[in-house]
Amino acid sequence: MATYYQEASHTFSEYLLVPGLTEEQNIPQNVSLKTPLVKFRKGEEPSISLNIPMVSAVMQSVSGDRLAIALAKEGGISFIFGSQPIADQAAMVARVKNYKAGYVPSDSNVTPDTTIAEMLELLDKTGHSTMAVTEDGTANGKLLGMITSRDYRIGHVSLDAKVKEFMTPREKLIVGRSTDNLSTCNDLIWEHKLNTLPLVDENDHLAYLVFRKDYESHKAHPNELLDHEKRFMVGAGINTRDYEERVPALLNAGVDILVIDSSDGYTCWQAKTIHWIREHYGDSVKIGAGNVVDPDGFNYLADAGADFIKIGIGGGSICITRETKGIGRGQATAVQEVAKARDAYFEKTGTYIPICSDGGIVYDYHIILALAMGADFVMLGRYFSRFEEAPGEKLMINGSYVKEYWGEGSNRARNWGRYDLGQGRKLSFEEGVDSYVPYAGFLHDNVLMTTSKIKSTMCNCGALDIPELQRKARLTLVSATSIVEGGAHDVMVKHKDTSFNK
């Protein structure tokens, strides 16, 4: 006979934290959000820790190299999506590893003959008004000039006019050498009162731009997640089919950690993939696995040797797995059950395996609940897809900016495999949807707001770090009626907040 779980499975919105004693030391400045990313033995330090408990989802519409850099700056990590050819994914990883903090590859480039209309179109797409003018319009073409929004006055210039009529030509530009270190660049920026300094190579081809504001922000990012060579850390998603080719390519590109990306991780294929990695690289290659929603799934992947384990089936905002396949579990219950298994495993073996709550975070406070219930960090898709740095197109719909966000199990994401893997895998049904999300600006501002909320609630619970929150948290289920009481009610709200992250 089938096994029945007696309790209904719950989701985050059905819980609240009850405050604990807040003492003098419980102020946000004293709160640490540092958390382990990979397993470690009792009494030892994990070889990789995150500085904030947030990682970005293994998705085409979320984790590209631009978002990976922005998130590493804040202390989290991205897992570059694996639903692309191996060489393309490795190139994305390499771009993150080769990115020198403060040195930005120019992403808005035009030629002298580009029209003002075309340039404005590009500005709308990238949001960057400082553009390099290169011979061939690429980021590494021969530098012929720079154009910024201060060079032309909209409404006073013809849209058919050419960039060359307004740009600052190369001979009038102050440039640095691509080999200059940041402090030399900064000296040039101050000496010449610049906002942007282009760096060129020995053939006068553009290499990077150094922005005054970025140099300042580099100094203002104490949480940056860096490897021992001071490069940003980055992860990558793999599958259980082509790992023998994909893993070496990603390692070659400098990837710091891998994760097997699947909606159901309780499979012999995941164990085989981990064993293959251990056989070829021992413990030096770090690999997460998942997703699971119960202790059996956790213990299976723990015994297989996973470095961290992801939890969640069917809770993702773009996910229709539960509707199409009838598998899954309420995310809060899944986290609680797996956290119990993780603690029991630690007790029994002395090895602590971090767990990640993946999917279904709608409000910032859901992150705090997930951590309080035992998650070491959370994986977010929709949250990050809304930002400027996410790969999806930014579009104007009904007068508001939106970004595109699509599931890895949607027709749109899965099409690539049909052409590239050549494994005869056909899309038979969809497990995800293609959608829009409200555009929310830059990652930095949003993550800062979210982490301040997490720290503030931790103060309410009398916790100075995540392990203390997990020990002290007191959680209550809420009734459907009290959920209504929790929002604004019985008033006419003047401005409706459509940001989705309260």
Binding-site positions for NAD(+): 261-263, 312-314
Interface with ligand IMP, residue 432, by CB under 6 A: yes
Interface with ligand IMP, residue 77, by CB under 6 A: no
**Secondary structure of 172-190 as H, E, C letters:** HCCCEECCCCHHHHHHHHH
Interface with ligand IMP, residue 408, by CB under 6 A: yes
List the Cα angle 414/419/424 in 5-degree steps: 85
Interface with ligand IMP, residue 64, by CB under 6 A: no
Q: Which is nearer to ligand IMP, 56 or 273 (CB)?
A: 56
Draw the binding track, 335-364, toward ligand IMP (x: CB under 6 A; -: no contact): -----------------------xxxx---
Instruction: Name which position in 37, 50, 57, 167 contacts ligand IMP (CB under 6 A).
Output: 57
Please pick, among 319, 356, 459, 461, the residue that the annotation labels catalytic. Answer: 319
Q: Within a 10 A sphere around the Cβ of 195, how many other Cβ atoms?
A: 11
| Measured CA distances, 293 to 54, 236, 299, 301, 358 (Å) | 19, 22, 11, 12, 10
N-to-C CA span, the chain: 44
> CB of residue 57 vs ligand IMP: minimum separation in angstroms?
3
Count, residues near ligand IMP per rule CB under 6 A = 24
Interface with ligand IMP, residue 404, by CB under 6 A: no
How far apart CA 93 and CA 77 sit, in angstroms, is 12
Interface with ligand IMP, residue 380, by CB under 6 A: yes
DSSP helix/strand/coil, 13: helix
Q: What's the full length of the chain, in residues?
A: 502
Instruction: Name which position in 51, 410, 470, 501 contacts ligand IMP (CB under 6 A).
Output: 410
Beta-bridge partners for 110? 133
DSSP letter string, 65-76: HHHHHHHHHHT-
Contact between 289 and 304 under an 8 Å Cβ cutoff? The reply is yes
- The closest alpha carbon to 316, from 260, 396, 273, 262, belongs to 262
Q: Which is nearer to ligand IMP, 35 or 106 (CB)?
A: 35
Please pick, among 150, 418, 471, 474, the residue that the annotation labels catalytic. Answer: 418
Quick check: is 319 catalytic?
yes
Quick check: is 418 catalytic?
yes
Which residues define the annotated binding site for K(+)?
A: 314, 316, 319
Which residues define the annotated binding site?
A: 261-263, 312-314, 316, 319
How far apart CA 123 and CA 136 sit, in angstroms, is 18
Identify which range of 140-148, 406-414, 441-449, 455-463 contacts ligand IMP by CB under 6 A.
406-414
Q: Which is nearer to ligand IMP, 389 or 431 (CB)?
A: 431
Relative to beta strand 308-311, strand 287-292 is: parallel
Q: What is the dihedral of CA 299, 300, 302, 308, to 10 degrees?
A: -100
Contact between 46 and 37 under an 8 Å Cβ cutoff? The reply is yes
Q: Side chain identity at 14, as an amino acid letter?
A: E
Interface with ligand IMP, residue 431, by CB under 6 A: yes
Instruction: Name which position in 83, 114, 196, 317 contacts ligand IMP (CB under 6 A).
Output: 317
> CB of residue 431 vs ligand IMP: minimum separation in angstroms?
4
Instruction: Name which position in 146, 369, 379, 402 contacts ligand IMP (CB under 6 A).
Output: 379
Interface with ligand IMP, residue 402, by CB under 6 A: no
Instruction: Give the footprint of ligand IMP on residues 92-131 (CB under 6 A).
Output: none
Identify which range of 17-25, 32-40, 88-96, 310-318 contacts ligand IMP by CB under 6 A.
310-318
- The closest alpha carbon to 185, from 158, 155, 207, belongs to 207
Q: Which is nearer to ligand IMP, 52 or 206 (CB)?
A: 52
- The closest alpha carbon to 97, from 122, 77, 127, belongs to 77
Q: Hey, which residues are catalytic here?
A: 319, 418
Residues at the interface with ligand IMP (CB under 6 A): 57, 59, 263, 312, 316-319, 321, 358-361, 379-383, 407-410, 431-432
